[in-house]
Amino acid sequence: ELFCVPRHYESDLDKVIIPHGLIMDRTERLARDIIRDMGGHHIVALCVLKGGYKFFADLLDYIKVLNHNSDKSVPLTVDFIRVKSYCWLTRSYTNLIIYLFSFFPLQNVLIVEDIVETGRTMQTLLSLLSECNPKMVKVVSLLVKRTPRSSGYRPDYIGFEVPDAFLVGYALDYNEYFRDLCHICILNDQAKEKYKV
Amino acid sequence: MASYLQIPDDEKGHDLELFCVPRHYESDLDKVIIPHGLIMDRTERLARDIIRDMGGHHIVALCVLKGGYKFFADLLDYIKVLNHNSDKSVPLTVDFIRVKSYCNDKSTNSVRVIGGDELSNLSGKNVLIVEDIVETGRTMQTLLSLLSECNPKMVKVVSLLVKRTPRSSGYRPDYIGFEVPDAFLVGYALDYNEYFRDLCHICILNDQAKEKYKV
């Protein structure tokens, strides 16, 4: 009750764990750290679709504000990739389908992700990119889950480290619902059933 | 007939000194023709019109990359606010496609759609195509005929800008932000060789700058 949450979701959520304003403040700082390390050179910002687009747009807005105030014109390329990973019963593997890959001068590449869980998708993507010999590749993820299933991989820039719970809101939808929820919240069990496909 | 805010050909625009424009672009731009705040206000209204016609049902918002992503993000934020205040939970699917158009020797257009989920998923849904700018209109017309084969319930197109140009095929989107002159525009969603992304107003690029930032 301490925040504005859409009325139609009130019975579906347990708690607000990261309010929208806090997400924006943290993102603003991530942008500053990124510019400190990568700014002044042509950055290629690679958005991992589909979940990543909201965080990508907000992060890039902050990056653009910082560029806005710099002395010189810095080119900023945006590009998009789609990553699909499959988990099978006996083994899990990451199958990378790279859509929308255009050729860009691989200099400073910033991969923008919404959440890292096992880390395996990101590790596979990074080894694929390294074959193109970029000058620098960094990964920013809004969320990193604390989970035993983690491979140990940690992004270069992390917004929040979160518990291994069922999260929705901001960048995280559940079967296309909860896009209109701007805070990150924990979904309760009844709701998992209610919005099941 | 879609309503739109017309920016006339003889639009004088606003002097750069009246707005915040990155210092490093000051010598590159002629005028601010659509300030960022105006873009946002118009987008807010487009969202309302879209929800009036399509809301209450599962909308699939299809973003045409790459130019479209900025306008897509802002438009969807306004759409989400309207959903936020509705009585029921409405699913909202987002998807992203890249459209490449070719003209073959017979000058018939074909369009290749790259990315996105299975187009067959669009069947029975309300599809909203989100584009940054429509110039000749031919890409959009070809995309629309491709999508109609998937039997969506409804397909509508929203474009932030429509250019007034003799090269136009006559195609008009269902929702239009602004109708603009046939000039070289940068800013907001429109980059020039990856520059001008940090410019939030839509401005006219001068000739020296076209050379300066050439690939």
Digit-coded pLDDT (tens) for B127-173: 999 999 999 888 888 889 888 888 899 999 999 999 998 888 889 99
pLDDT at position B107 over 60: no
The answer to whether position A116 is within a domain reads: yes
Residues of A in contact with B195 (CB under 8 A): 73, 75
Residues of B in contact with A57 (CB under 8 A): 69-70, 73
Q: Is ipTM over 0.90?
A: no
- Which domain does A77 fall in, by range? 21-163
Residue A25 is predicted with a pLDDT of 93
- The total domain count for chain A is 1
pLDDT, averaged across chain A: 83
User: Considering only A132-136, B74-78, B137-141, which range has the smallest mean pLDDT?
Assistant: A132-136
| Chain B closest-CA separation from residue A148 CA (Å) | 31
pLDDT at position A69 over 90: no
User: Considering only A29-38, A81-90, A155-164, B118-127, which range has the smallest mean pLDDT?
Assistant: A81-90
Of the partner residues B73, B89, B115, the one whose CB lies closest to the CB of residue A53: B73
Residue B161 is predicted with a pLDDT of 95
pLDDT at position A93 over 50: no
Q: Which of B179, B133, B159 is nearest to B33 (CA)?
A: B179
pLDDT at position B16 over 90: no
Of the partner residues B76, B93, B194, the one whose CB lies closest to the CB of residue A75: B194
Residue A112 is predicted with a pLDDT of 94
Judge whether B67 and B133 are in contact, CB under 8 Å. Answer: yes
pLDDT, averaged across chain B: 85
Does the beta-carbon distance from B89 to A53 stay under 8 Å? no
Show the beta-strand stretches assigned E in A58-132: 76-82, 86-87, 92-93, 108-116
Q: Which tokens in the block code for residue A93? A: 């593997």
Does the beta-carbon distance from B95 to A177 stay under 8 Å? no
Residues of A with CB under 8 A from a CB of B: 4, 6-9, 12, 42, 47, 49-50, 53-54, 56-57, 60, 64-65, 67-80, 82, 99-100, 102, 175-177, 179-182, 195
CATH number of residue A74's parent domain: 3.40.50.2020
A49 to A23, A83, A98, A108, B86: CA distances (angstroms): 19, 7, 10, 20, 27
B170-193 pLDDT, tens digit per residue, is 899 999 999 999 888 999 988 888
Q: Global pTM? A: 0.84
Least CA distance to A53: which residue of chain B? B73
Does the beta-carbon distance from A78 to B197 stay under 8 Å? yes
> Mean pLDDT throughout B36-63?
89
The answer to whether position A174 is within a domain reads: no
Does the beta-carbon distance from B197 to A64 stay under 8 Å? yes
Residue B191 is predicted with a pLDDT of 86
The answer to whether position A129 is within a domain reads: yes
Residue B74 is predicted with a pLDDT of 94
Residue B65 is predicted with a pLDDT of 83
